[in-house]
Amino acid sequence: MIPPVVDVQWWQEHRAAVVLADVRWYLDGRCGRDAYDQGHLPGAVFVDVDRRLAGPVSPGAGRHPLPDAKQFAAGMSALGIGAQDIVVAYDDAGGVVAARLVWMLRVTGHKAALLDGGLGAYKGPLERPAPERTPTTFPVTPWPAAHVATIDDAVDASHTVLDARDGERYRGEHEPVDPQAGHIPGARSLPARESVDARGRLLPVPVLRQRFARVGAGDGADVVSYCGSGITACHTLIALEHAGLGSGRLYPGSWSQYSHDAARPVATGADPAGDDGC
């Protein structure tokens, strides 16, 4: 297994052995494919979040539930990604979207890493034509229970539950897409976008470890990560692993599932540690 995060130099040194994946997607409705077609890293294939990395949308499952294992395998096969390939994924948002693909591959036993700094870390010319890759065979692997949390796990006080959304959404001040504003009671706020610097690169490991420790996610913690729909929550899990604090679990339904259940309590207000994006 390769490390969960690599830099541009690592990619360039291993370029011949790597499948580069462009995983741009935007909450505001912009089209990731359009951005890819305007220019992408040399040789990168485009991975559509909604088509390849998520199952059917429903109030009961959320906006980006994990796809069926067969659907995921078929998507990777169609993109020419095989069982033995090393995948390095990037976006233009500090990795908070591309981490979804990296997490999905790593928990099913494949070699994958996040490109630190993403699109902006590469200083060479971008390409516009999409590369031609021959479809291949990718194994069907069930999502491992040890890495996936349920809605009941997300309200279990014995777990350290982390909310990866921006602070204003955690506090309930603004909710752009889901039916209720606020957060899961007991969840701690750790915005994924604040785990990277202004260049979109992950903060130094000692700083990441301090951030996790402040919200009770230090060594040995049983971490459950969620966000709006299970996308940016994967970035928290990749950062957790990068910091040497274990792998944690993803709550795929996240707030988009939880907030549709009127019987579930909703909390608002700041994180008690003040680490909620203020």
Q: Are 116 and 7 in contact (CB under 8 A)?
A: yes
Q: What span, in angstroms and rounded, lies between the C-alpha atoms of 249 and 150?
A: 9
Q: Which long-range contacts (CB under 8 A, 24 or more apart) does 167-170 make?
A: 167/191, 167/270, 167/271, 167/276, 167/277, 167/278, 168/277, 169/228, 169/255, 170/271, 170/276, 170/277
Place of tokens 């069907």: 140
Question: Are the C-beta atoms of residues 91 and 118 closer than 8 Å to each other?
Answer: yes
The two tokens of residue 64 are 């980006």
Q: Is 278 among the catalytic positions? A: no
Contacts of 229 (CB under 8 A, 6+ apart): 62, 63, 64, 253, 254, 255, 256
Instruction: Report the amino acid identity of residue 34.
Output: D
Judged by DSSP in three states, 143 sits in coil
Q: What angle do CA 4, 41, 94 make, to 5 degrees?
A: 45
Active site residues: 227
